[in-house]
Amino acid sequence: MRRHYLDNIRWMTVVAVVIYHVIFIYNAVMPPYKRIGAFAETQTQDAVLYILYPWVMILLFIVAGISSRCYLETHSIRDFVRTRTRKLLVPSTIGLLLFGWLQGWLNMTLAGGFDGIPDTMPKVAVFSIMVASGTGVLWFIQMLWLFSMLLALVRKFEKGGLYELCGKANVFVLLLLGIPLYFSGLVLNTPVVQVYRFGIYAFAFFLGYFVFAHENIIDRLGKIDIILGIAALLSGALYLYLHYGDEYAVMPTVNSVSAVVYAWLASLAILALMKRRYNRESAFTSFMTKRSFGLYVFHYFPLTFAAWVLAKYAKLSVVPTYAIVAFASFLGAFVLYETVVRIPFVRWCLLGIKKSSKKYRVKNSLKTISFSCGNCGTLRSKSKTDSYTKIEPLQYSESLSDIPF
């Protein structure tokens, strides 16, 4: 049975990432672009950044770890490595090289990055700088590929003993896991590009794989979902009180005790609340789930483009600016996704989606079985009397069971 609550957590968290970025580009605490700037020296709306940043990516890595476990239950390690490489490494390397420079140009234009580049610098060097600057949101995909490869190595040696042991954890043990989460945040952090927090994100990913992939673990949390929700709100209020105005995305604030406690309680609360109260599917949630990866990958370009246009040609007040940029982010991401998935080479570069065949041929089985096609998400039953079964693929769309995070 599909875990719809994970799908809903995934797309809702991606929506939160988009909202975060809309607020972020105009924030007064850590302004990223000098050509845009904040609306005022102190902005109440910047509190949204403090509310979202501590837990959003930790939760996404936990969900990615759970999804990896689910995938490996029905696929080989070799298939896992091949699929994750195509869906994660290809977009974050080849896609970045061929198309990422556009985002890089926009980032450097908004940040005034070209001001310090001499005219004598070789064009190849300038292009390389633009590509690096265009990495943007792809850092998550790069790290997820690295963790996936590490998981493939771990799985060769871990035969299930640790996984079974983790399934016995009670609520008290789950709460105490926030302690090693804190210490993991102190190691393997890159000094310049500080979003690459390898320690804490790797720990979250493997917690997802070994601990939270157990449905009974989520069910235990679900019994105290309201308590966890209240604890998360209180810890978030304390974190906001202690650190509002500090640079929230860098040390020491990003890994302060209050930040990690809030992040951990928020992650547990969301897992518990979503499993118990929103473990269902609708036409809308299905639509968002199928496009969650595309929304994540594509939202930042229309977001920054809209901000650039407004900064260059119009000076609007706070509410219209946020509304226009947010609308452009979501609409632009969905339009880009629906366009890209219809262009074979481009969709492979940017989304890692391989070409869909017109039909799939399935060999005889000795008994009646139900199965799902990895690239089409359709379900068929087949008996031993059939020689082959045709399966119509869902046009250019990944299977819901095959979303890479």
Quote the number of domains for the chain: 2
Tell whether 245 and 295 lie within a shared domain.
Answer: yes
Cα gap 109→104, rounded to integer Å: 8
Tell whether 196 and 85 lie within a shared domain.
Answer: yes
Tell whether 303 and 371 lie within a shared domain.
Answer: no
Cα gap 361→388, rounded to integer Å: 6
- The pLDDT, as a whole number, for residue 355 is 67
CA 46 to chain centre: 22
The tokens 């091949």 sit on which residue? Answer: 82
- pTM (2 d.p.): 0.88
381: left (phi over 0), alpha (psi -120 to 50) or beta: beta
CA nearest to 405, candidates 168, 178, 201, 258: 201
Backbone φ and ψ of 118, nearest 5°? -70, 155
Tell whether 347 and 211 lie within a shared domain.
Answer: yes
Cα gap 206→369, rounded to integer Å: 32
Tell whether 329 and 396 lie within a shared domain.
Answer: no
Q: Which residue, 351, 379, 397, sits at the end of a domain?
A: 351
Query: Tens digit of pLDDT per residue, the chain (405 long)?
Result: 789 999 999 999 999 999 999 999 999 999 999 889 899 999 999 999 999 999 999 999 999 999 999 999 999 999 999 999 999 999 999 999 999 999 999 999 999 888 888 888 999 999 999 999 999 999 999 999 999 999 999 998 888 889 999 999 999 999 999 999 999 999 988 887 888 999 999 999 999 999 999 999 999 999 999 999 999 999 999 999 999 999 999 999 999 999 999 999 999 999 999 999 999 999 999 999 999 999 999 999 999 999 999 999 988 999 999 999 999 999 999 999 999 999 999 999 999 998 654 443 444 444 433 333 333 333 444 444 444 444 333 333 345 444 677
CB-based contact 347:396 (threshold 8 Å): yes
Tell whether 277 and 399 lie within a shared domain.
Answer: no
Q: Which domain holds residue 133?
A: 4-351
